[in-house]
Every structure is written in structure tokens, then in C-alpha cells.
């Protein structure tokens, strides 16, 4: 009897060890996704909602801190940052270990004003933006050669509050915040799609070491994001309903945003766009030398995800 009991105890202990080991492996293989709250993250948010066992979110409101968080991530599991393309380009110019593996969102930036509906109305006015962000590149290129006073924010909600309180005369912002300001009566002076044509906004950034160590997980991530992109476009009302809790906005308001910004995972055709923005980053003195645009990307995971 005692011998049988001992076997039972050993079996239970062994089962417990297997469960602990499995749980540890499962936890370590979950993909950590660093993000802000822009609509460029729409596919990411739906993916996390559907695949909690595979993905987890890490909210970092200041995109300038995304690369820091990415490089500080655990070496025992894959980490990516869904970050504005400009922040990614600045970081990659200084650290060739970083690489873009896919896109996340398309278009979505707006210049909104309480001072008048034209670019000329904003001459010498205070325009809120974010340093080194796509928001800054957009307003810099749109206003050139007109002079204006850039006011920098690190928190997107603070930028909205400053615009509403008239502490600034205008703001460049991303969705869903741009639509929030437009609904408050701000003039939508210019959108990035009107100015640049279709263009990537946020990109999925990781390290070359992560690709070597966690290739299957990263291919899976891109596959999931492609699936969510198709879902948002095929069922915009249902997607808006599911996303309303993330964005703290009514579903109908979110649905309108698809006219300004949409998910886009496959951005392989936009390399010339990135090359032009590198010139702007040099003009703004964020980078000293222009890296080869082709060396900034690894499309092989995206190609595997399509297969």
C-alpha cells in the first residue's frame, strides 16, 4: 500500500513538473508587442484580443521610448515594437541591429487648426507635434517654407488637451485623436494622404537577433496581423465594436476613421517613400548620414507568412 502511494505521489510530482515546464515555455514564447494607442495598432489590438496565449501588449505612450523598451526586452522571448516609421528610421540609422519586418498602419496623420483652415493661416503659429515622430516630419514638410513654432509633446493625450484648451493654435495628430479634434470643430487643414499619397505610418520593428532566435514566432505574428487586416476591412462595423474599448471611443466614431487610416501589413512597395523621409530626417538633423533604404528591411518573414 505504501509502495503504491509512493508511486502516486511521484506521478503527481512529475505531472506538476511537466505543467510548470510547459507553462514556462509557453510564457517565454509569447510575443511581446510594444505599442502606443494610435489606429495604426488596430490589427495588433484585435490580434491580442483573439490570441492572448500567443501575444501580449506593452503600452509605451512615448514612441521615442519604444526602441529602448525593445532593446531592453527579454532575450528568452521575441519582442517587437509597433512604432512610427520616423522613430524607427532614426533608431536604425544609429543601430544596424534593428530591422523592419512589416507594416502596421497606412496613412492617418492630420494637421488640425483652430486658427484657420489653410497652411498660410498657421504662419508663425504654435503647432503641437512630437519630436522625431512622423507627426513632426509631416508638419515640417507641409509648412516649408512657411515659418511656424513647433511645440513638442510626448503624450498623445496631452497634445489633444493642449489643442482643446487653445494652448496651441494647431496640432498634427494621428487617428483616432485627429478625428476627435475634427469632431470638436477643428479644421482639418491637410491629411498626410493628401500630401504624401498612400504611405506607411507605424511599422513592426525588431532586432536581427530576434529573427534568428524566434523566426517561427515572428512569422506567426505577421500571419495573425494579415488575418486581422482582412477582418477589419471585410467587417468594419464588427471590428469597430470590438476596438471601442481599446480606444475609449464609440464604434460609429471609430468606423469613420477607416476613411483616414487603415491597417496595412504588406508595405514592400513603399521603400521609395522611406528613402525620401530619410532626407527629411537629415534636414532636421536627427541623422547624420543616410543609410541604404534597402538595408532597413527584412521582407523574408512577410513572404513566409503569405506562404
Question: Are 232 and 301 found together in one domain?
Answer: yes
* Reported confidence tier of residue 9, pLDDT bands at 50, 70, 90: very low
Question: Are 59 and 155 found together in one domain?
Answer: no
Average confidence (pLDDT) over 3-23: 41
* Reported confidence tier of residue 16, pLDDT bands at 50, 70, 90: very low
Q: pLDDT tens across 205-254, in order?
A: 999 999 999 999 999 999 999 999 999 999 988 999 999 888 888 888 88
Strand (E) positions, the chain? 31-35, 55-59, 79-84, 98-103, 105-107, 109-113, 126-129, 149-152, 170-174, 187-191, 202-207, 261-263
Question: What average pLDDT is seen over the chain?
Answer: 89
Choose the final residue of a domain: 196, 228, 248: 196
pLDDT at residue 300 greater than cutoff 80: yes
Is 191 among the domain residues? yes
Is 25 among the domain residues? no
Q: pLDDT tens across 87-138, in order?
A: 999 999 999 999 999 999 999 999 999 999 999 999 999 999 999 999 999 9
Question: Are 102 and 207 found together in one domain?
Answer: yes
Question: Are 259 and 190 found together in one domain?
Answer: no
Is 17 among the domain residues? no
Is 156 among the domain residues? yes
Question: Are 226 and 96 found together in one domain?
Answer: yes
What's the CA gap between 126 and 128, in Å, rounded?
7
Average confidence (pLDDT) over 189-204: 97
* Reported confidence tier of residue 72, pLDDT bands at 50, 70, 90: confident
Choose the final residue of a domain: 164, 196, 228: 196
- Who's near 11: CB < 8 A, 6+ residues apart? none
Question: Are 70 and 206 found together in one domain?
Answer: yes
- In the chain, the number of structural domains is 2
Is 6 among the domain residues? no
Choose the final residue of a domain: 178, 196, 214: 196
Is 254 among the domain residues? yes
Question: Are 39 and 98 found together in one domain?
Answer: yes
Is 292 among the domain residues? yes
Is 155 among the domain residues? yes
**Which domain, by its residues, includes 165?**
109-196
Question: Are 134 and 38 found together in one domain?
Answer: no
Question: Are 69 and 215 found together in one domain?
Answer: yes
CATH number at residue 121: 3.40.190.10
Q: Can you give 241-304 as a three-state secondary structure string?
A: HHHHHHHCCCHHHHHHHCCCEEECCCCHHHHHHHHHHHHHHHHCCCCCCCCCHHHHECCHHHHH
Cross-strand pairs, 150: 127
The SS3 call for residue 152 is strand
Strand ranges across the sheet with 31-35: 55-59, 31-35, 79-84, 202-207, 98-103
Q: Can you read off the three cell numbers belonging to residue 240?
A: 469597430
108: nearest Cα among 172, 36, 186 = 172
- The torsion angles phi and psi of 6, rounded to 5 degrees, stand at -60, -40
CB 85 within 8 A of CB 63: no
pLDDT at residue 23 greater than cutoff 70: no
CB 105 within 8 A of CB 176: no
Question: Are 47 and 139 found together in one domain?
Answer: no
Task: Look at residue 32 in the predicted model and tell me its pLDDT.
Answer: 93
Question: Are 92 and 216 found together in one domain?
Answer: yes
Task: Look at residue 163 in the predicted model and tell me its pLDDT.
Answer: 97
Cross-strand pairs, 149: 126
CA-CA-CA-CA torsion sign (50, 51, 53, 58):
negative
Q: What is the pTM of this model?
A: 0.86
Question: Are 46 and 131 found together in one domain?
Answer: no
Amino acid at each position: 500500500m505504501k509502495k503504491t502511494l509512493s508511486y502516486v505521489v511521484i506521478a503527481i510530482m512529475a505531472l506538476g513538473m511537466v505543467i510548470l515546464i510547459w507553462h514556462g515555455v509557453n510564457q517565454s514564447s509569447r510575443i511581446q508587442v510594444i505599442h502606443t494607442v494610435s489606429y495604426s495598432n488596430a490589427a495588433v489590438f484585435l490580434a491580442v484580443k483573439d490570441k492572448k496565449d500567443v501575444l501580449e501588449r506593452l503600452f509605451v505612450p512615448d514612441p521615442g521610448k519604444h526602441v529602448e523598451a525593445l532593446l531592453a526586452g527579454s532575450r528568452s522571448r521575441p519582442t517587437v515594437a509597433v512604432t512610427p516609421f520616423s522613430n524607427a528610421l532614426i533608431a536604425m540609422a544609429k543601430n544596424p541591429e534593428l530591422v523592419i519586418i512589416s507594416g502596421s498602419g497606412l496613412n492617418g496623420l492630420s494637421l488640425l487648426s483652430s486658427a484657420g483652415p489653410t497652411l498660410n493661416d498657421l504662419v508663425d503659429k504654435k503647432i503641437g507635434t512630437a519630436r522625431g515622430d512622423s507627426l513632426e516630419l509631416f508638419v515640417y514638410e507641409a509648412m516649408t517654407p512657411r515659418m511656424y513654432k513647433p511645440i513638442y509633446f510626448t503624450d498623445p493625450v496631452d497634445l489633444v488637451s493642449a489643442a482643446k484648451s487653445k494652448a496651441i493654435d494647431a496640432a498634427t495628430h494621428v487617428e483616432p485623436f485627429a478625428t476627435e479634434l475634427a469632431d470638436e470643430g477643428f479644421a482639418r487643414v491637410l491629411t498626410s494622404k493628401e500630401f504624401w499619397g498612400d504611405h506607411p505610418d507605424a511599422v513592426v520593428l525588431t532586432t536581427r537577433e530576434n529573427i534568428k532566435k524566434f523566426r517561427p514566432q515572428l512569422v506567426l505574428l505577421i500571419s495573425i496581423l494579415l488575418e486581422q487586416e482582412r477582418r477589419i476591412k471585410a467587417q468594419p462595423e464588427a471590428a469597430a465594436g470590438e476596438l471601442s474599448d481599446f480606444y475609449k471611443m464609440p464604434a460609429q466614431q471609430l468606423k469613420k476613421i477607416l476613411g483616414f487610416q487603415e491597417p496595412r501589413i504588406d508595405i514592400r512597395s513603399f521603400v521609395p517613400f522611406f528613402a525620401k523621409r530619410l532626407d527629411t530626417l537629415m534636414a532636421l538633423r536627427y541623422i547624420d548620414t543616410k543609410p541604404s533604404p534597402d538595408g532597413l528591411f527584412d521582407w523574408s518573414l512577410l513572404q513566409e507568412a503569405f506562404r
